[in-house]
Amino acid sequence: MATQAFNNPALEQGFTETWLKAFQAFQNLDLGGMAPPTGTADATPLRFANEKLMKIQQDYVREASELWNQTLQDNPQLADRRFKGDAWGKNPMAAFTAAVYLLNARTMMSMAEAAEGDAKTRNRVRFAVEQWLAASAPSNFLAFNAEAQQKAIATQGESLAKGVKNMLQDMRQGHVSMTDESLFEVGRNVATTEGAVVFENELFQLIEYKPLTAKVHERPFLLVPPCINKFYILDLQPENSLIRYAVSQGMRTFVVSWRNPDQTLAQKTWDDYIEDAAIQAIHTVQDITGAKQINALGFCVGGTILTTALAVLAARGEKPVSAVTLLTTLVDFTDTGILDVFIDEAMVKFREMQMGKGGMLKGQDLATTFSFLRPNDLVWNYVVGNYLKGETPPPFDLLYWNSDSTNLPGPFYAWYLRNTYLENNLVKPGKAKVCGQKVDLGKLDMPFYIYGSREDHIVPIGGAYASTQTIPGKKRFMMGASGHIAGVINPPAAKKRSHWVRNDGKFPASVDEWIAGAQETPGSWWDDWAAWLKSHAGKQIAAPKDYGKPRSKYKASEPAPGSYVKAKA
């Protein structure tokens, strides 16, 4: 009889009408308020092929029937990790609620995949559906979360009291805690590689690190991290610090530590960051070391800034950098992955009107957007643990760094949005004008080491690989396993993950073709990169005994990691 209840034409018709109405509502969502309205109402209306709808409908009715029949005999089996605790399996109502949610979630995502329309609209609907499903999970609500209820009973309400305390604390600090932030301090147990600040201006401090070898390569090494994060992602702990690793390889190492902007920098532009930061840092390292050429690395947006600066210098007839490393960097913004759902002409105009002439993009707004790219892992997981269960998240240096957000000057941000994500002007020779020069990446004929992470959701592997089609000189492309951060921060001693490389010097048009001819090697890619960097670093000379340049303006002013990195957004 239970099965017959689902074999009802009226029920099937109601199913179709209900889900279609839900999806038409999703078409005009503003992505949960994380971005301003983006004009999706003018996009191509969603359509659904009848045969796809019929298949989804039949699958739903069949699975609902199976679920009902299974529930009459035993509690449903829940594979989703949000419902893996014993309390879910032992509570019939909770198990059934979770199982129905998972069935509806699969159906909604099937509808999202079946929708027909222009690509951007389909991606936005898919993203909106994912956000709604993540937020509406029964595990997020005390009334439905069997584990939280069980813990409240076992602790006689103490877990709920701690949860309220945690929530009030997070409200005061302005973000959901992902780790116990009280256990970390920049300069004490993160960002501890020994060094000193040898130059600063209003945009950045330049840090030089103490050599760990008796000799160093004659070409110094400059790292340009992203200005949307703190630089110490490259120097979390001694055992996983890319900065310390570079120093241990005999590189005289410098890093740009960006200032966390306040209202005094609200007028700063992309040109300012290129001229007065990236180019200034390059010339300062040259002045300090006396080197005619240096080597440089750019990470994420830092790579975009570095590449733009080198193009400006090339237009001026300068070539101060011998070899370049780009880590998870977009230069060609054709493939920007999930971030594309936020970008269109209306959104960029909104930001230009809002802050294009001055203003500040708050660091927490940017951090929240990035967290919602992985809502279950980086948002709701902590809502449940911190508030419903009253738990204190365990100490984790990476998540401490992730919560240490940075602001961005509005004019800088507005230029970046239009000229990269929206119009992709950097790869169009002469289209973008920076610091009075027309940008032409075709003039960057120095060797490049280009790295991309296979599961990166911020810089998709195809987007990272696209640089090989734009940069004209000799290149080496490396693909690492994992994502935007874990793929990069993968020291050899950990013996984790894998990397892929091709030694035939071929760079086909698509990354899939490249991968098809690549060879997988277990472990970190760092040693491969170090060997490449050494081949472009020149002969070895005696390591300097002092920071900066004796008897000059480039003297150690304070120990690393400096004061700029400690400023909170």
Region 493-498: what's the mean pLDDT? 95
The answer as to whether 149 is a domain residue is: yes
Q: What is the pLDDT of residue 115?
A: 87
Of 344, 328, 331, residue with least CA distance to 123: 344
pTM tops 0.75, yes or no: yes
Residues 278 and 138 in one domain: no
- At 20 the pLDDT is 56
Q: What span, in angstroms and rounded, lies between the C-alpha atoms of 86 and 390?
A: 18
- Active-site residue (options: 133, 300, 373, 427): 300
pLDDT at 260: 97
The pLDDT of residue 141 is 97
Same domain flag for 530 and 451 = yes
pLDDT tier at 351, thresholds 50, 70, 90: very high
Instruction: Judge whether 82 lies within some domain.
Output: yes
Instruction: Write down the pLDDT at residue 88.
Output: 94
Mean per-residue pLDDT over the chain, rounded: 91
Alpha helices in 293-409 (DSSP H): 301-315, 345-355, 363-371, 375, 381-383, 397-403
- The residue assigned the tokens 């050494």 is 534
Query: Residue 504 maps to which CATH number?
Result: 3.40.50.1820
Please tell me the predicted confidence (pLDDT) of residue 476.
Answer: 98
Is there a single domain that holds both residue 143 and residue 59?
yes
pLDDT tens-place string over residues 168-223: 999 998 889 999 999 999 999 999 999 999 999 999 999 999 999 999 999 999 99
> Do 319 and 443 fall into the same domain?
yes
Task: Judge whether 373 lies within some domain.
Answer: no
Q: State residue 19's pLDDT score.
A: 54
Q: Is residue 409 part of a domain?
A: no
pLDDT digits (tens, 9 = 90+) for 42-79: 455 678 888 888 899 999 999 999 999 888 888 888 98
Q: Which of 124, 154, 184 is the last residue of a domain?
A: 154
At 1, the pLDDT band (50, 70, 90 cuts) reads very low
Percent of the chain with pLDDT over 70: 92
Tell me: do 125 and 216 sit in the same domain: no
Whether residue 127 is predicted with pLDDT greater than 50 in this model: the reply is yes
Dump pLDDT digits (tens) for 528-555. Answer: 999 999 999 999 999 999 999 988 999 9
Higher pLDDT, 37 or 239: 239
300 an active-site residue? yes
Q: Is residue 288 part of a domain?
A: yes
Instruction: Judge if 111 and 207 occupy the same domain.
Output: no
Q: DSSP string of 20-86?
A: HHHHHHHTT--GGGTS----GGGSPPPB--HHHHHHHHHHHHHHHHHHHHHHHHSPPP--SGGG-SH
Name the residue range of residue 541's domain: 195-339+425-566
Q: Which of 139, 154, 169 is a domain's end point?
A: 154
- Domain end call among 99, 127, 154: 154
Quote the CA–CA distance of 547 and 150 in Å, as a whole number.
Answer: 58
Whether residue 235 sits in one domain with residue 136: no
Residue 387 in domain: no
Question: What was the pLDDT predicted at 279?
Answer: 98
Same domain, 56 and 150: yes
How many structural domains does the chain have? 2
- Residue 256 in domain: yes
131, 199: one domain: no
Task: Provide the pLDDT for residue 345.
Answer: 95
